[in-house]
């Protein structure tokens, strides 16, 4: 097992004083800690079981959760079955836009690191995490031009503090259709279906894979035919996940569809687009240009772009400029906290570090496969240079940081105890069936200065710009885990493990 070890204390003076003191020192201060990337990988996937909505399966490992939201889809006088999927974060909303991105990134992690996941016995867990999402997303896409993008209502949800198992909040359903466009939502969901179809094809679930691909093609066509931003049709989702545009999702979906089908039309879409994003400052649930750029760069490296190669060169150049900036060798390097963590944005910064380290990881593989190095404006960068940046970021996340705190819940001995998460912060329904009321949950659980009764293994939260962290449920900008953060990290942990 590969582990990274680091000293909690600076022991250089100890060496001078001698062996006896060194032994005492390690006894007294427990000077060495080891980071087990395999354990981080296991927990990053367990997290998804804690986020499950719907009827839990017999092989559910996170036992403190129970069945929930079994009537989803029955609001609005509808009979659409929308049971299942994932709660997006510490609330009980099901939001299609970040959920689809989560599934796309989980699929990318699984495609890129299938060997490593198998070696660690996590491949099946990764596939199950994807399938929990795709089973739901297929229900949410009943006909070609109808896609449900939200279940729940944000104000109603945020005004209550309840376990998913006994929530009493509105479960309103929202959709896009021919008269209510949402190309970003449609295309992101197409990307998720196309990427997942590659995973299921690889394990010979041919029928399922074919179904996914069909959904992907229909949704891409729908996004193309009725252009628009999804929160104009689903304003409620816009309150929490407003999209800044749809062209990035269209390119990202086209790139995944090309990878899944090798059909010329998707390559043409990429090469004929005048917009390839430019050099981006983040890769996120809102902005997928970097993802599309990296996928296109891979096509070029594999010689699979044919006569489109020249028109696609800009994608590769922009991808590489982003990665150069991640490793501090670009022309406009990303900021870091004083402790060395990449710093993008104040709200849940870990999600951006997750995607940045993911593309840096996969790029190191691409370079290794072709025997190339990356030419950055700050000098040439080898695959192992890329991996050492990734490792430094992961080590920081898992405890090698000024507070010596693991920002992954359940990992190590010092991790956040009061994350902003309804299910984790309220006694398990398996232990106490008394329903928790909408407001009662605040009085009894949210405002209680005590550790969450349930440890949500693998949940990831974020330190702030100054390497500080306030372990408080009301600190929702830093203390609320989301499904989008873990998906790329599954690949990153597999890369390091």
**Could you tell me which residues come within 8 angstroms of residue 175 by beta carbon, excluding any fewer than 6 positions away?**
146, 147, 148, 149, 233, 234
In angstroms, give the least distance from the CB of 467 to ligand NAG.
43
Q: Is 421 a catalytic residue?
A: no
Between CA 422 and CA 431, with CA 425 as vertex, the angle to 5 degrees is 105
Question: Do the beta carbons of residue 330 and residue 290 sit within 8 Å?
Answer: no
Segment contacting ligand NAG by CB under 6 A, of 40-48, 85-93, 167-175, 266-274: 167-175
Question: Residue 170 to residues 139, 160, 163, 229, 252: CA-CA distances in angstroms?
Answer: 20, 11, 14, 24, 33
d(CA 338, CA 350): 15
- Shortest separation between residue 174's beta carbon and ligand NAG, angstroms: 5
In the block, residue with structure tokens 């087990």 = 36
Does 445 interact with ligand NAG (rule: CB under 6 A)? Answer: no
Return the residue nearest ligand NAG (CB atom). Answer: 76
CB of 157 to ligand NAG, least distance (A): 14
Q: How much helix, strand and coil, in percent to the nearest 5, is found in the chain? A: 50, 10, 40
- Choose one: 47-55, 166-174, 220-228, 332-340; the region binding ligand NAG (CB under 6 A): 166-174
Residues 30-89 binding ligand NAG (CB under 6 A) are 76
At 35 the three-state DSSP class reads: strand
Token pair, residue 307, equals: 């006569």
Cβ-contact 414, 399 below 8 angstroms = yes
C-beta of 57 vs 235, nearer to ligand NAG: 235
Question: Does position 140 bind ligand NAG by CB under 6 A?
Answer: no
Tell me which stretch binds ligand NAG (CB under 6 A): 91-99, 171-179, 204-212, 219-227: 171-179
Residue of 420, 421, 478, 495 marked catalytic: 420
Answer for which of 172, 273, 417, 472 binds ligand NAG (CB under 6 A) is: 172
User: Count residues contacting ligand NAG (CB under 6 A)?
Assistant: 5
Burial 276-295 (b: 16+ CB within 10 A, else e): bbebbebbbbbbbbbbbbbb
* Catalytic residue from among 91, 150, 287, 457: 91
Return the axis-axis angle of helices 123-139 and 96-112, rounded to nearest 10°: 150
The separation between CA 195 and the C-alpha centre of its own chain, rounded to angstroms, equals 14
C-beta closer to ligand NAG: residue 175 or 267 = 175
Decide: is 213 part of the binding site for ligand NAG (CB under 6 A): no
Q: Are 239 and 251 in contact (CB under 8 A)?
A: no
Distance CA 64, CA 456 (A): 9
Q: Is 151 in the site for ligand NAG (CB under 6 A)?
A: no
Nearer to ligand NAG (CB atom), residue 175 or residue 397: 175
Q: Which stretch binds ligand NAG (CB under 6 A): 135-143, 170-178, 336-344, 354-362?
A: 170-178
261 contributes a contact to ligand NAG by CB under 6 A: no
**∠ CA 207-213-214 to the nearest 5 degrees?**
90
Answer for which of 147, 173, 386, 429 binds ligand NAG (CB under 6 A) is: 173
Which range binds ligand NAG by CB under 6 A, 43-51, 125-133, 172-180, 374-382?
A: 172-180
Q: Shortest approach of ligand NAG to residue 155 CB, angstroms?
A: 12
User: Is 39 among the catalytic positions?
Assistant: no
Q: Which of 33, 165, 480, 495 is catalytic?
A: 480
Which range binds ligand NAG by CB under 6 A, 23-31, 105-113, 169-177, 361-369? 169-177
Footprint (CB under 6 A) of ligand NAG, residues 364-403: none
Shortest distance in whole angstroms from residue 74 CB to ligand NAG: 11
* Shortest distance in whole angstroms from residue 228 CB to ligand NAG: 15
The reply on whether position 174 binds ligand NAG by CB under 6 A is: yes
| Contact (CB, 8 A) for 453 and 427 | yes
Give CA angle at 216 (215, 221), nearest 5°: 100
* 173 vs 436 by CB, closer to ligand NAG: 173
Residue 334 DSSP code: P
CB 220 within 8 A of CB 253: yes
Q: Give, to the nearest 10 degrees, the angle between helix 309-326 and helix 264-272.
A: 70
User: Quick check: 232 binds ligand NAG (CB under 6 A)?
Assistant: no
The whole-angstrom separation of Cα 331 and Cα 368 is 24
Looking at the Cβ atoms of 179 and 335, the one nearer to ligand NAG is: 179
Cβ nearer to ligand NAG, comparing 172 with 261: 172
Which residues contribute to the site for ligand NAG (CB under 6 A)?
76, 172-175
Annotated catalytic sites, by residue?
Answer: 91, 420, 471, 480
């Amino acid at each position: 097992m590969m582990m990274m070890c680091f000293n909690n204390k600076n022991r250089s003076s100890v060496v001078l004083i001698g062996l006896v003191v060194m032994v005492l020192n390690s006894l007294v201060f427990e000077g060495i800690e080891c980071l087990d990337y395999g354990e981080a990988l296991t927990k990053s996937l367990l997290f998804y079981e804690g986020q499950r909505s719907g009827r839990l399966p017999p092989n559910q490992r996170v036992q403190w959760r129970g069945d929930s939201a079994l009537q989803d889809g029955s609001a609005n006088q509808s009979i659409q079955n929308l049971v299942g999927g994932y709660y997006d974060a510490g609330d009980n909303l099901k939001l299609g836009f970040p959920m689809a991105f989560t599934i796309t990134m989980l699929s990318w992690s699984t495609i890129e690191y299938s060997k490593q996941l198998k070696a660690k016995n996590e491949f099946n867990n990764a596939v199950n995490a994807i399938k929990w999402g795709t089973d739901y997303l297929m229900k949410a896409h009943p006909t070609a031009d109808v896609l449900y993008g939200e279940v729940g209502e944000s104000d109603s949800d945020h005004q209550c503090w309840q376990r998913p198992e006994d929530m009493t909040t509105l479960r309103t359903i929202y959709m896009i259709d021919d008269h209510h466009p949402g190309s970003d939502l449609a295309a992101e969901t197409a990307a998720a279906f196309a990427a997942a179809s590659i995973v299921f094809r690889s394990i010979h679930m041919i029928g399922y894979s074919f179904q996914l691909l069909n959904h992907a093609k229909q949704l891409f066509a729908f996004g193309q035919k009725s252009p628009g931003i999804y929160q104009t049709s689903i304003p409620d989702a816009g309150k929490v996940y407003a999209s800044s545009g749809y062209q990035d999702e269209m390119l990202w979906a086209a790139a995944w569809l090309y990878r899944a089908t090798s059909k010329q039309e998707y390559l043409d879409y990429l090469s004929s687009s005048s917009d390839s994003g430019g050099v981006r400052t983040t890769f996120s649930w809102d902005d997928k240009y970097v993802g599309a750029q990296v996928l296109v760069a891979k096509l070029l490296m594999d010689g699979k772009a044919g006569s489109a190669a020249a028109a696609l060169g800009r994608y590769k150049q922009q991808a590489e400029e982003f990665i150069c900036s991640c490793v501090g060798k670009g022309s406009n390097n990303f900021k870091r906290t004083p402790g060395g963590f990449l710093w993008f944005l104040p709200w849940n910064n870990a999600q951006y570090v997750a995607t940045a380290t993911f593309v840096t990881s996969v790029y190191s593989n691409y370079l290794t496969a072709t025997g190339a190095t990356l030419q950055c404006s700050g000098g040439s960068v080898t695959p192992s240079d890329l991996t050492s940046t990734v490792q430094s970021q992961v080590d920081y996340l898992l405890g090698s940081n000024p507070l010596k705190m693991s920002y992954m819940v359940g990992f190590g001995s010092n991790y956040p105890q009061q994350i902003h998460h309804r299910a984790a912060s309220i006694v398990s329904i398996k232990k106490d069936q008394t329903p928790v009321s909408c407001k009662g949950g605040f009085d009894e659980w949210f405002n209680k200065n005590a550790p969450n009764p349930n440890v949500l293994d693998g949940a990831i939260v974020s330190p702030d710009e100054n390497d500080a962290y306030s372990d408080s449920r009301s600190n929702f900008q830093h203390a609320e885990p989301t499904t989008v953060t873990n998906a790329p990290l599954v690949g990153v942990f597999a890369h390091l493990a």
